[in-house]
Amino acid sequence: MRIEEIKVLKGPNYWSVRRTKLIQMKLDLEEMEQRPTNKIDGFSERLEAMFPSMYSHRCSEAKPGGFFYRVKEGTWMGHVIEHIALELQTLAGMDTGFGRTRGADEEGKYYVVFSYMEADAGVFAARAAVNIAKALTDATEYNLAEDIQRLREIREDTRLGPSTGCIVDEAAKRGIPHLRLNKHSLVQLGYGVHQKRIRATIASTTSNIAVDIACDKEETKNILEAAEIPVPKGMVIRTEAGLEDAVKKYGYPLVIKPIDGNHGKGNTTNITNWEQAVKALENAKQYGRSVIVERFITGFDFRILVINYKFICAALRTPASVTGDGIHTIQWLIDETNKDPRRGYGHEKVLTQITVDHSTMKMLEEKGYTLDTIPAKDELVLLKTTANLSTGGTSTDVTDEVHPANIVMCERIAKIIGLDICGIDIMAKDLRTPVSENGGAILEVNAAPGFRMHIEPAEGLPRNVAEPVIDMLFPDRSNGRIPIIAITGTNGKTTTTRLTAHICKSAGKKVGYTTSDGVYIQNQLLMKGDCTGPLSSQFVLKDPTVDFAVLECARGGILKSGLAFQNCDVAIVTNVAEDHIGLGGINSVEQMAKVKAVVPETTFNHGYAVLNADDDLVYKMKNDLKCNIALFSMDENNPRIKEHCEAGGLATVYENGYVSILKGTWKIRVAHVKDIPLTFEGKALHNIANTLPSVLAAYLFKSINIEDIRSGLQTFVASSNTTPGRLNFFHFKNFTFLADFAHNPHGLKLLGDFVSKLDYPTKVGVISGTGDRRDEDIRELGSISAEYFDEIIIRCDKNLRGRTAEEIIGLLQEGINAVNPNIPQTVIANENLALEHIYEKPIQGALYVVMCDVVAGALDKIKELKDLENTTDNS
């Protein structure tokens, strides 16, 4: 068996719009295609022995044990690998269960598709599953525990921490989208101008100066003390001499900690002698030059959480520890404690397993203990200096026990420091009485406080502390979204996108849009190239100046990674024609329609899918959509349009020379095509077709009126700047270039229909074929060219995509000769040389129609020749 490729799908995709996080593995079973599981001796028994928990996999039998039954009856190895990959993740604490295995239209090759929680873990699970299947087939030993542990490590390295994760989850419940901005905890909530950011539990609303104050323990203490908040007596030192002064001033017990430390790093508590104090000083100085020495306050360790300056909850924190039984060693007690099913690796479960580290050994050594010591019955042995959950500590919710005076004090502390998300550490005998009266003190004020102790306490009531964070960032139940119009189809996507964006800009929107030639933010080209995939869409959605997104979504991005967004407000599907067939596992135009349908399937239920009623495959998409439907057609008498509008539906049509909106039985004439420059006075029928969905999509937004739409149509002029590679005319002294991106038979026929209406004595096609298309597609380009042009110049694309130039030229000539073997043909393989040839030896008054491959390159060359002509004329 051999893995041919692995794709990580991160958004709505070909396999599922709802399950957006999928691994797609193309697997060649090779000789295993002839060996289903029932023909491999002992395979079923070995599988069940290795994965007894897989009994819960129901499979198509729809009952527990269903998958094991399928294996006994006989199934193919791709199916088995799918289930192994899912079970591996579940055993590593990532419970996920969606999978599909489908043939790849090639003998012995399959697409194995399964869900993941963390992408790197999903990829690892895919590779491991194949190796495990091989071992089970060959009856060889395999270290499953090693794979599971590695998956746990990957999960902990890549997942959002519990604090960030719970905020993101709460945002999702509110319909607020999120984008992860790095591999750590920086996350964007919302899109465009409405976005907010969080890094762990620091928000974009959090004051920088407040964080700075909170990170300086001495400054925090001084500010609080000046405000009559009870704090421990202490001083800042750097040397042993300073330590000696502190001991003389405050006596024992003491606490020593770095002045700007966090998460308890470098802290030593309950110091009772000089030797301990010197060691604590050395430990603290590993994290900073300055160290704070404080009087040790006895009592219990409490954490108060204040969000948006309001008290939210409180927790009692207990460091990792074991309780002696007078029989067993400390190591045995640790191992026994770790058997608690609530404890797991990292943040896998409510509690974290206790690990023995240098800090643990140091604490035991100070008591004269080792791991082999047997503590007395009921003796509490502390194993960590701090009560952090990540080191094995526990928490108990005590929110309902907090005295009103303590609540007021904590809210006041948050205001004094200026932290909108604030964790306050209190040492006191309890919180039922005012801290100012029970001898307690405020130890620290924390920026970025951990939430895990509150959302998953070991005891007591869990608190949804993420909700007040989201309420603070997005008041009034707002969802942080901006309008999104998503556009897909075979031809016309880019022109439709540009026109739609232009109309929205005419209505005063700050538009970001993606096209096949670049990404534009408020009309500024910021990224060049084919930008129709998810990364380009994210670029727009991340931009904090954008309040309206128009996103071109092409086949390639959908198949490679999925869409960048979960939902859009309006989706446009221009058409579906035969292009890119045979690539990326898509082998028919019907399958291509399924790819394009991913975009309208993401439309909100209250949104609209704008579909081409003249295209059978596009019109059929409405049957699987849950959103509203709007239609467009070049024929107002199209029965589909009539039926739709009679039922009160919305549509745009081309009628009597007008682009008109049909609203039920009412007609709103928007503009005559002669007043729409993009249509070239109505000659460019395909651009009339592109105008229809743009008009309808804009009309669906209440903030865009008919006058905005009309103004946008009248001011959008086709040129190499506004629509590069789309009907770009360049008029030379003796001839004219028309450059267009037509690259498939459907697009070339539309271009040919337009050219046939132009008044030129000679029309010459400068054509090429794309190497990764089917033979019949390339031949068809030749035959269509022979129908529309008087002469043909054949050139080749710069990237031949797996073919030779001779092969592509031969296929084009076969298509030309099948229609008109007498048409004059010239072969100039290099595009630049072909353009120079035309410039040097033009046919008087001819129109040269250039099929552009790399639009920017072709346009630059034509402009260079135009500049040369102007220079020659001036000289």
Give tens-digit pLDDT for 402-413.
999 999 999 999
Q: Which amino acid is at 815?
A: G
Closest CA to 850 of 778, 811, 799, 793: 793
Q: How many residues does the chain have?
A: 875
Any idea what DSSP says for residue 734? S
Q: Is the Cβ–Cβ distance between 361 and 412 less than 8 Å?
A: no
Backbone angles phi, psi at 71, to 5 degrees: -65, -40
The two tokens of residue 733 are 């002294």
Q: Is the Cβ–Cβ distance between 296 and 255 less than 8 Å?
A: yes
**CA dist., res. 98 & res. 55, Å (int):** 16
Q: What is the pLDDT of residue 263?
A: 64
Q: Is the Cβ–Cβ distance between 89 and 117 less than 8 Å?
A: yes
Closest CA to 85 of 163, 175, 6: 6
**HEC letters along 234-284:** EEEECCHHHHHHHHHHHCCCEEEEECCCCCCCCCEEEECCHHHHHHHHHHH
What DSSP string describes 394-446? EEEE-GGG--HHHHHHHHHHHHHHT-SEEEEEEEES-SSS-HHHHT-EEEEEE
Q: Is the Cβ–Cβ distance between 644 and 613 less than 8 Å?
A: yes
Q: Strand ranges (DSSP E) for 104-169?
A: 109-115
Torsion from C-alpha of 680, 684, 688, 691, nearest 10 degrees: -70
Q: What is the pLDDT of residue 344?
A: 85
* Mean pLDDT estimate for the chain: 94
The two tokens of residue 507 are 């209505």
Going 832 to 837 to 840 to 843, the CA torsion angle's sign is negative
The two tokens of residue 215 are 């990170």
Residue 563 burial (CB count, 10 A): 27
Query: If 0-12 CB within 10 Å is exposed, 13-18 middle and 19+ buried, where does residue 482 land?
Result: buried
Place of tokens 């994210």: 538
The two tokens of residue 252 are 């024992």
N- to C-terminal Cα distance for the chain?
Answer: 69
Place of tokens 């031809």: 491
**CA dist., res. 235 & res. 243, Å (int):** 9
Any idea what DSSP says for residue 583? B
The two tokens of residue 502 are 């232009």
**CA dist., res. 13 & res. 21, Å (int):** 9
Q: What is the pLDDT of residue 390?
A: 80
Closest CA to 287 of 254, 309, 260: 260
The two tokens of residue 533 are 């995939």
Q: Which amino acid is at 546?
A: V
In the chain, the largest separation of any two C-alpha atoms, in whole Å, equals: 109
Q: What is the pLDDT of residue 875?
A: 65
Q: What is the pLDDT of residue 346?
A: 79
Exposed e or buried b per residue across 667-677, where buried means at least 16 C-beta atoms within 10 angstroms of its C-beta? eeebbbbeebb
What DSSP string describes 526-562? EEES---SHHHHHHHHH-TT-SEEEEE--HHHHHHT-
**CA dist., res. 183 & res. 120, Å (int):** 11
Q: Order across the sheet with 291-295: list the strands.
A: 234-237, 291-295, 254-258, 268-271
Place of tokens 């102007």: 870
Q: What is the pLDDT of residue 108?
A: 94
Q: Strand ranges (DSSP E) for 647-706?
A: 650-655, 658-663, 666-672
Please count the CA atoms within 13 angstroms of the CA of 391 that sit on its side-chain side. 20
At 260, which helix (H) or strand (E)? none
Cα–Cα distance list, 497 to 234, 452, 466, 556 (Å): 65, 45, 38, 17
Helix (H, G, I), strand (E, B) or coil at 768: coil
Cα–Cα distance list, 731 to 734, 739, 846, 850 (Å): 8, 11, 10, 13
Torsion from C-alpha of 685, 688, 689, 695, nearest 10 degrees: 180
The angle formed by the CA atoms of residues 176, 181 and 186, to the nearest 5 degrees, is 80
Q: Is the Cβ–Cβ distance between 303 and 433 less than 8 Å?
A: no
**CA dist., res. 147 & res. 127, Å (int):** 10
**CA dist., res. 439 & res. 313, Å (int):** 22
**CA dist., res. 315 & res. 439, Å (int):** 19
Closest CA to 572 of 597, 590, 591: 597
**Rounded-to-5 percentages of helix, strand, coil across the chain:** 40, 25, 35
Which residues 6+ apart lie within 8 Å of 759 measured at CB?
none
Q: What is the pLDDT of residue 289?
A: 86
The angle formed by the CA atoms of residues 223, 384 and 94, to the nearest 5 degrees, is 100
Place of tokens 């959302």: 455
**CA dist., res. 82 & res. 23, Å (int):** 10
Tell me the pTM: 0.88
Which residues 6+ apart lie within 8 Å of 109 measured at CB?
4, 26, 27, 28, 29, 103
Q: What is the CA radius of gyration of the chain?
A: 35
- Chain centroid to Cα 738, Å, comes to 39
Residues facing 521 on adjacent strands = 512, 524
| Segments in the chain below pLDDT 50 | none
β-strands 22-28, 109-115: how paired?
A: antiparallel
Query: If 0-12 CB within 10 Å is exposed, 13-18 middle and 19+ buried, where does residue 53 land?
Result: exposed
The two tokens of residue 154 are 């990957």
Any idea what DSSP says for residue 43? H
The H-assigned helical ranges of 452-545 are 452-455, 466-473, 493-506, 534-542
**CA dist., res. 678 & res. 690, Å (int):** 9
